[in-house]
Structure 1
Amino acid sequence: MPNKRVSLHGPDHPDFILDDYPLYNLNRTSATYIDQMSSRLKDFNMDQPSWRVLMLLGDKNPSSVGELSRRSVTKISTITRILMRMEKEDLVSRAPFAGDNRVIEVFITDKGKSLLKELRILADDVYSQAFDGISDQDVITFTNILMRLRQNLS
């Protein structure tokens, strides 16, 4: 239920109220979304990090390991382990970039594309649940604010 009070003060202010703090609520919402997705992904023997990689490759295929790391906000060493596991499951393949052998490109396989198609339906259900009762204009405003926050923090 929407809270009419929103803390316009940072944590060091005497009037600070944690439950009304936008960044606290952003973190809680993100965690709730991840929990929802994780529980639904289990039916496909998929975890959140692998889902994120499939979504990124669905958006831009191929992508370099470095680009996947940056866009997924995941350390290179972690993304490499995720990719190794996904490669064993035949969801992705990796190959040196033709112009620079130091760069490894990641490709989504046909099996990965097929799974991604199913998972997008699942994700659409979570999206619909999350934005139920929220106008298109509010979704646009919310997305623009999130992008601005990320830009401000970069």
Structure 2
Amino acid sequence: MDAFRSGNPRTPAFQVERYPFYLLTRLVSRYNTIIDTRLRAIDLDIPSWRVLMILGEKSPRSARDISDTAVINLSTMTRIMQRMIAAGLITKTQSNTDARVSMVALAPEGEKRLATARQATAPIYEHLVNGLAPDEFEQLIGLLNQLHDNLEPLVP
């Protein structure tokens, strides 16, 4: 059977187990269930963890950049950030170059929590990629990016 036909919802040969978006959703759901348990044990939720991980790469960043990178709409991200500010995990200031832009940075407590979160979540990542050769991992990353890029022209 043609591999593309069995994953195409237009065809009678469609099989949900061959549909890439089902497989991706299933993977992310299982991963989030496991990660959520680990994060709750250290008093974090998944959205806050995403913000900490993003700021761990580069801090400060604009609120819009964090929202886009986390794939969370800006209004929801604003509420997440308000909770994180109240918890002392991040700080928010106005940009020096554009007063309309909010800049977000890790607070010292956020840096500590990020280090703890990395220790808590790293074993899951390591288990997830166990058995993949480096070139297979690079191929996986490339394929996922290609699928994402293929959708770009269709984004409204």
Give the TM-score range, shorter chain: over 0.9
- Find 1:17's aligned residue among 9, 15, 18: 15
- Find 1:150's aligned residue among 132, 148, 151: 148
- Find 1:8's aligned residue among 1, 4, 8: 4
Matched pairs, number: 150
Summarize the Cα distance change of 1:60–1:40 in structure 2 as closer, same or farther, 3 Å threshold. Answer: same
- Poorly superposed stretches of 4+, deviation over 6 Å: none
In the alignment, is the contact (CA less than 8 A) between 1:6 and 1:21 conserved in 2? Answer: no
Equivalents in 2 of 1:95, 1:125: separation in Å?
A: 34
Alignment partner, residue 133 of structure 1: 131
Q: CA deviation at 1:6?
A: 8.6
Which stretch shows the higher mean deviation, 26-35 or 47-56?
26-35
Identity %: 31
In the alignment, is the contact (CA less than 8 A) between 1:6 and 1:22 conserved in 2? Answer: no
2:26 counterpart of 1:34: no
5+ residue gaps, structure 1, are none
Equivalents in 1 of 2:2, 2:51: separation in Å?
A: 35
Q: CA deviation at 1:23?
A: 2.0
5+ residue gaps, structure 2, are none
Equivalents in 2 of 1:151, 1:142: separation in Å?
A: 14
TM-score normalized by structure 1?
Answer: 0.93
Summarize the Cα distance change of 1:6–1:135 in structure 2 as closer, same or farther, 3 Å threshold. Answer: farther
In the alignment, is the contact (CA less than 8 A) between 1:6 and 1:20 conserved in 2? Answer: no
Secondary structure of residue in 2 paired with 1:151: helix
Secondary structure of residue in 2 paired with 1:8: helix
In the alignment, is the contact (CA less than 8 A) between 1:96 and 1:105 conserved in 2? Answer: yes
C-alpha RMSD of matched pairs (Å): 1.4
Equivalents in 2 of 1:125, 1:69: separation in Å?
A: 26
- Find 1:45's aligned residue among 43, 46, 52: 43
In the alignment, is the contact (CA less than 8 A) between 1:8 and 1:21 conserved in 2? Answer: no
